[in-house]
Amino acid sequence: MTARIPFDFNVLGNVKRSYPLVIVGAIESGSPFLRMFALTRILSLFEVGFVSILTAFSMFFELSTDIAMYRFVFSVPKQRYHEALAAAHALSVARGVVVSILALCAAPIVAWAVSLSDEWMSFAALAPTILLRSFEHLAPRVAERDFRYWPQVKTTGLSLALSLIVVVIVAVITRSHVAIIASAYAQVISSVVLSRWYADAPYRLDFRGPLFQDAFRFAYPLLANGLGLSIALQGDRFVVAALFDLKILALYSVIMLAVIVPMFLMARVLQSTILARLFHAGANAMRLRLEVRLASSVVAILAAAYAGGVVLLMNPIIALVFGPKFHAGGAAMILLGVGAFVRLVRSEPFTSLMLNEGRTKRLAASNVVASSSLGFMVLFSFFTRSVDAVLAARLLGETASLVVTLVMARRAPAIGRYAFSSSTVVGLLFTGAACLASVALEAAGDPIGLLLAASAAYGIAILLWAMWDLRRRMSRLRAENAQAERATP
């Protein structure tokens, strides 16, 4: 019997099912933004820069060894759910022990590299949080396989709310980077407790079961994937800290955070939704192919819309929210906007397609190439030392990863080549038009009236394109779904 896709083909139906996931993504992506918003008003630029490098240090080790164990449980039949969950918990704890030791050993070296040798204990203090996080119950995250997101909403929302309260209180008292360390402990401890409270199964560890070896085989290629992601996302902070100083790092981090947070929210919602739809598409090759094509169009449309928003509107928004001292030039916004587009379209639906098929090695190859941006940054530093050069290096790394992703998609099974459609090319053309408009507006002095008019015109054009493109793709998928149901006895 062919499984029915549990998504209605109408806007209200999709919103009704997915809005808890949007809440989860908004909480996860918005908390760093709110934290930085508060800290820029309490701490000095130097301390904000210190917070940025501490965050980068912690995130580097978290991301570089991220093996997405809850995704392993996705790939195991539901009949073995409890067994798979215990194996995933065991591997998560093993990973936490190893990574926390590595972080502790690396703390003095990283502190010396960014000219903070006397503060190495601040870096070392973050290592135990990695170990503590590994004891988190995975059941609330696995629940998204069946479109149940509220356990995540409660666990994530409450733990991050507590961490935000702690970071503000400690920052007001100490006026130092100690606030981010206290916040990290508050978040991870509350997350471990709440995840067990809202789990639908007891917490168990199984190091000896047969699924532990299966979990390791699923996860180890993702180590390379995580390393590529961590270098691509956090490596630039270390380069900026080494080339400039913590004050410049503070300015850079605020601008990057303002651009990355909404993008991560979109990516979080897209990956969970697309992966669930592919999972429920079952073994129907035609339906799966149409799902991938639809996902490709949705991603291209959202990527083009967001890239245009970054290019045209992000600079005045950052100045309004964080203050006029946090300002970047038009060239920086163009580089960030194009980089955001490339990252979004190279990530989905390719990531979900590879995870759905268990091809984690192909996925890892794509993200490892993204880390080449760090090499470009070092190379450019011999010729020029500027923030624009760092952003250009990031864009080159993402572009190289996109090329590899295209190759990997073509080598995937039959549906892999549909991971990128004509919509991707159209989205790139829209992004290019936004860049040209930005150059023209900057030459005219960036009058706010023309800026808003250009943004409105761009948004209307994207909306018209989306209505035309998505309607035809959803019609084809609806027809295939109806045909499959008629053929089902």
pLDDT in tens, 173-228: 999 999 999 999 999 999 999 988 988 888 888 888 788 888 787 776 666 666 66
- pLDDT band of 115, cuts 50, 70, 90: confident
Q: What is the pLDDT of residues 234-255, one digit of tens each?
A: 777 877 887 777 888 888 888 8
Give pLDDT, residue 276.
Answer: 67
How much is the pLDDT for 450? 84
Q: Percentage of residues in the chain with pLDDT exceeding 90?
A: 17
d(CA 176, CA 42): 9
Please check the confidence at residue 467 and state whether its pLDDT lies above 80. Answer: yes
pLDDT for 223 equals 66
Window from 285-289, 297-301, 484-488 with minimum mean pLDDT:
484-488
Q: What confidence score (pLDDT) does residue 399 get?
A: 86
Q: At which residue do the structure tokens 């090329």 appear?
A: 403
- pLDDT value for 19: 60
Most confident of 93-107, 264-278, 372-386: 93-107
For residues 313 and 100, what is the distance between their CA atoms, to the nearest angstrom?
40
- Distance from CA of residue 75 to its chain's centroid? 21
Asked whether residue 144 carries a pLDDT value surpassing 80, the answer given is no
Lowest mean pLDDT among 7-11, 231-235, 445-449: 7-11
Higher pLDDT, 442 or 309: 309
Tokens of 207: 């190091």
Q: Rounded distance, CA 310 to CA 334, Å?
A: 8
> Per-residue confidence at 5, pLDDT binned at 50, 70, 90?
very low
Q: Report the range out of 158-172, 252-266, 390-404 with the highest average pLDDT.
A: 158-172
- Give the angle subtended at the CA of 19 by the CAs of 14 and 25, to the nearest 5°: 125
* 5 three-state secondary structure: coil
Task: Name the pLDDT band for 391 (thresholds 50, 70, 90).
Answer: confident
The mean pLDDT value for 310-316 works out to 87
Using alpha carbons only, give the angle 475, 479, 484 rounded to the nearest 5 degrees. 150
Average model confidence (pLDDT) for the chain? 79
Q: What is the pLDDT of residue 7?
A: 42
Q: Given a cut of 90, is residue 168 above it in pLDDT?
A: yes
Q: How confident is the model at residue 4 (pLDDT cuts 50, 70, 90)?
A: very low
| CA-closest candidate to residue 88, choices 108, 67, 107 | 67
pLDDT value at residue 475: 77
Helix (H, G, I), strand (E, B) or coil at 176: coil
Q: How far apart are CA 361 and CA 368, in angstroms?
A: 10
Which of 7-21, 59-73, 186-200, 344-358 has the highest average model confidence (pLDDT)? 186-200
Task: Grade residue 329 by pLDDT with cuts at 50, 70 and 90.
Answer: confident
For residue 26 the two structure tokens come to 């908004």
Q: What's the chain's length in residues?
A: 489
Which of 236, 127, 110, 132 is CA-nearest to residue 186?
Answer: 132
Q: What is the mean pLDDT of residues 272-287?
A: 68
Share of the chain above pLDDT 70, in %: 79
CA angle 457, 463, 468 (to 5 degrees): 130
pLDDT at 14 over 60: no
- For the chain, the C-alpha Rg in angstroms (whole number) is 22
* Average pLDDT rounded to a whole number, residues 71-94: 81
Judge whether residue 413 has pLDDT over 70: no
What would the mean pLDDT of 58-78 be, rounded to a whole number?
Answer: 73
